[in-house]
Structure 1
Amino acid sequence: MSVSTETTPAANAPADTGSVSASARMPGRYPWLTGAIIWALLLTVPFWLPALGGYTALAGRVLVLGLAAMSFNILLGFTGVMSFGHAAYFGLGAYGAGLTLRYLTPSTPLAILAGVLLGGIAGTVFGKLIVRRRGVYFAMVTVAFGQIVFYIAYSWDSLTGGYDGLRGFTRAPIDLFFTKLDIANNDTLFYYFLLAVFGVATLLQALILASPFGRTLLAIRENERRARFLGIPIERHIWLSFSISCAFTALAGALYALLNNFADPMGLHYSLSGEIVIMAVMGGMRAFWGPLVGAALFVVLQDYISSMTTNWMSFVGLIFILVVLFFPRGLLGMLQRSSAK
């Protein structure tokens, strides 16, 4: 269908044409700029963070919780399904890694693999049971499952250490045949190890979301009924999204156990699930890097404010409310929208 140029005189105005083309190019260019800035900051953290009063372990915590929030966001931000029980898979990943190091073998790669398998398999099995639930019913069932896992870890003293948590293990150096990475004693080297794992995980997430499967998830998020009319197997896609999200979250939990050389039941508690939701929403759940930005803000505020008062969560909650009220797209979403204008 052609449109006569007489009926659209504004389209021939040079100023308008330049304005439209500039805004059209921005969405395709800005994500690359965002990623470049984020990676430049992450790669140089050990050099500039101490000058700001920070420490390397704080940056490692940002990476780990940022990965957990980005993994959760596959389900919330890109599929449109809410879960309040993702701490269960985070904690299972931590316990899987810790139990492997303590009772099976002092191998860091195997510990990470065990954590991912434990959390990923649990998420896959549980997701199959609840995939037909929607809305508040789906969210409440995820909370219930998380609390069941929390109670088991809390009560099984002989295996998990109960309330005191799982101790007696430490991350082991990694033998690369030609060299050995002493991540057990070198905090900076361990940070870059975390960054390497984080990079591989986020690359896989980006490839999944850019694939036809990822585009289908977006279609389900925007209009589930229309996607069903198009013949898309909704339940199967939500189940796969849930399983993938849980596996990546378990990876974050395994890294968290290595970061602290410790795993405790609070890593399974619903309060951590709430914090993961806060990170994703505060940073921008419709933006790929948004949850990482939210995690960085959350962790830094927690570390700084908790050193002054035990009521640090009140201040974080106030900031979260302000972000939701005035920046509903999240901090990164707000920045992207401003730059696109």
Structure 2
Amino acid sequence: MSADVSTTVTTAAVTTKRAPAPPRWMMLVVIWALLITVPYWLPLLGGYTALAGRVLVFGLAAMGLNLLLGFTGVMSFGHAAYFGLGAYGAGLTLRYLAHSTPLAILDGTLLGGLAGTLFGLLIVRRRGVYFAMCTIAFGQLCYYLAYSWNDFTGGFDGLRDFHREPIGIGPLTLDITNGGTRFYFFLLAIFAVAVALLGLLVRSPFGHTLRAIRENERRARFLAIPVDRQIWLSFSISCFFTALAGTLYALLNNFADPLALHYSLSGYFVVMCVMGGMRAFWGPLVGAAVFVVFQDYISSMTVNWMSFVGAIFVLVVLFFPRGLLGIRRQRSSA
């Protein structure tokens, strides 16, 4: 009798076991296939290529933040500061220094990344809400500086009178001035390089150290890990990637405005990370795609678009606490 019961229980366990999650390489193939082909199928759905470019830009910014938030476990509500500094750095370079798109990208990335590196030294010993509030304070300082310096930054009207320039590659010239599909693939190429570097960092011993700090900072200290230095490095690297996204934002719009420095944009980055899945590498990109597409679609119908996006965010947090890509992790662990 007991043997029959055990057999029945085992059979029930086997039948109720969930199907295994698809392999990781399959997900990578799907993601890159969608990114490469999006200029061709998105217009068929009523979208446009610039919308896909915005997804790449904000996805890269959110993935940069996620290195700090999702993999290190440290909250920042001021990453828009480095995003905006990258945008202004690129715009100011094109307007005042040189008509060179690569130089604009380099200058903007260095401006935002170095600002984050220096500021990180001041707050690296803070934790929790104190760390988050310090990041907001620095971001608002940059916002009001850009808002009030009319002669240099354009003030509230933003920085104008610059545009992306063609890129010379040996005897060839890549014309990205007209936007469209060619400029999208330029954004995608930079995005691919940045994501490859992020992937190497996350899978390196440095990335495993960040996970150890996230899981238990006290035990990491007992293992003689220099926690403060590792958090500072994570914060600095995160700022460089977010600043790179800011330079692409300026090139995408041929415009930089103070709202790119505002703390509300930092909140959007956090929403993208949480919505897509903080502990999934591609989670912030998925969250950015959902956020940007819904923002574009709903804002065309009502000015209260944030209410609808907020409702979607609440539903994701309630029913998918690990984010949209966290569903895959739950299936694999079931």
Q: TM-score if structure 2 supplies the norm length?
A: 0.94
- Secondary structure at the aligned position of 1:334 is classed as helix
- 1:281 aligned partner, one-letter code: V
Question: Partners in 1 of 2:125 and 2:148 — Cα distance?
Answer: 31
1:201-220 matched pairs, under 5 angstroms: 201-220=194-213
1:183–1:189 contact (8 Å) kept in structure 2 = yes
- 2:103 aligned partner, one-letter code: L
Counterpart selection for 1:93 from 86, 89, 110: 86
- Secondary structure at the aligned position of 2:245 is classed as helix
Equivalent position of 2:163 in the other structure: 170
1:123–1:243 contact (8 Å) kept in structure 2 = yes
Per the TM alignment, residue 203 of structure 1 is displaced from its structure 2 partner at its CA by 0.2
Per the TM alignment, residue 40 of structure 1 is displaced from its structure 2 partner at its CA by 0.3
Correspondence 1:76 to 2:83: no
Which consecutive unaligned segments of at least 5 residues does structure 1 have?
1-8
Correspondence 1:328 to 2:321: yes
Question: Partners in 1 of 2:184 and 2:328 — Cα distance?
Answer: 28
1:165–1:265 contact (8 Å) kept in structure 2 = yes
- Secondary structure at the aligned position of 1:80 is classed as coil
- Secondary structure at the aligned position of 2:280 is classed as coil
Distance 1:49 1:339, change over 3 A: farther
Correspondence 1:237 to 2:225: no
Equivalent position of 1:290 in the other structure: 283
Question: Partners in 1 of 2:333 and 2:172 — Cα distance?
Answer: 47
Per the TM alignment, residue 259 of structure 1 is displaced from its structure 2 partner at its CA by 0.1
1:66–1:296 contact (8 Å) kept in structure 2 = yes
Equivalent position of 1:109 in the other structure: 102
Question: Partners in 2 of 1:186 and 1:294 — Cα distance?
Answer: 24
Question: Partners in 2 of 1:15 and 1:196 — Cα distance?
Answer: 49
Correspondence 1:261 to 2:254: yes
Correspondence 1:249 to 2:242: yes
Taking only aligned residues, the RMSD between alpha carbons, in angstroms, comes to: 2.0
Distance 1:51 1:340, change over 3 A: farther
Per the TM alignment, residue 15 of structure 1 is displaced from its structure 2 partner at its CA by 11
Question: Partners in 2 of 1:41 and 1:339 — Cα distance?
Answer: 24
Equivalent position of 1:299 in the other structure: 292
Question: Partners in 2 of 1:184 and 1:232 — Cα distance?
Answer: 48
Equivalent position of 1:315 in the other structure: 308
Q: TM-score if structure 1 supplies the norm length?
A: 0.92
Moved more, 58-67 or 32-41: 32-41
Correspondence 1:188 to 2:181: yes
Correspondence 1:39 to 2:22: no
Could you list the per-position Cα deviations for residues 179-216 of structure 1 after superposition, in whole angstroms to 9, with x for gaps in the alignment?
11110014110000000000000000000111100100
Question: Partners in 1 of 2:67 and 2:268 — Cα distance?
Answer: 16
Per the TM alignment, residue 154 of structure 1 is displaced from its structure 2 partner at its CA by 0.4
- Secondary structure at the aligned position of 1:180 is classed as strand
Equivalent position of 1:3 in the other structure: none
Per the TM alignment, residue 178 of structure 1 is displaced from its structure 2 partner at its CA by 2.8
- 1:159 aligned partner, one-letter code: F
Per the TM alignment, residue 31 of structure 1 is displaced from its structure 2 partner at its CA by 2.5
Correspondence 1:199 to 2:199: no
1:35–1:289 contact (8 Å) kept in structure 2 = no
Could you list the per-position Cα deviations for residues 196-251 of structure 1 after superposition, in whole angstroms to 9, with x for gaps in the alignment?
00000000000011110010000000000000000000000000000000000000
- Secondary structure at the aligned position of 1:231 is classed as coil
- Secondary structure at the aligned position of 1:139 is classed as helix
Question: Partners in 2 of 1:230 and 1:181 — Cα distance?
Answer: 51
- 1:263 aligned partner, one-letter code: A
Could you list the per-position Cα deviations for residues 32-54 of structure 1 after superposition, in whole angstroms to 9, with x for gaps in the alignment?
22221110000001110000000
1:96–1:115 contact (8 Å) kept in structure 2 = yes
Question: Partners in 2 of 1:15 and 1:297 — Cα distance?
Answer: 38
Q: How many residues align?
A: 326
Question: Partners in 1 of 2:55 and 2:265 — Cα distance?
Answer: 14
Question: Partners in 1 of 2:118 and 2:281 — Cα distance?
Answer: 27
Question: Partners in 1 of 2:84 and 2:200 — Cα distance?
Answer: 26
Equivalent position of 2:3 in the other structure: none
Question: Partners in 1 of 2:295 and 2:42 — Cα distance?
Answer: 16
Moved more, 163-172 or 175-184: 175-184
1:30–1:336 contact (8 Å) kept in structure 2 = no
Counterpart selection for 2:215 from 210, 222, 226: 222
1:97–1:111 contact (8 Å) kept in structure 2 = yes
Could you list the per-position Cα deviations for residues 133-154 of structure 1 after superposition, in whole angstroms to 9, with x for gaps in the alignment?
0000000000000000001000
Question: Partners in 1 of 2:306 and 2:98 — Cα distance?
Answer: 38
Per the TM alignment, residue 14 of structure 1 is displaced from its structure 2 partner at its CA by 12
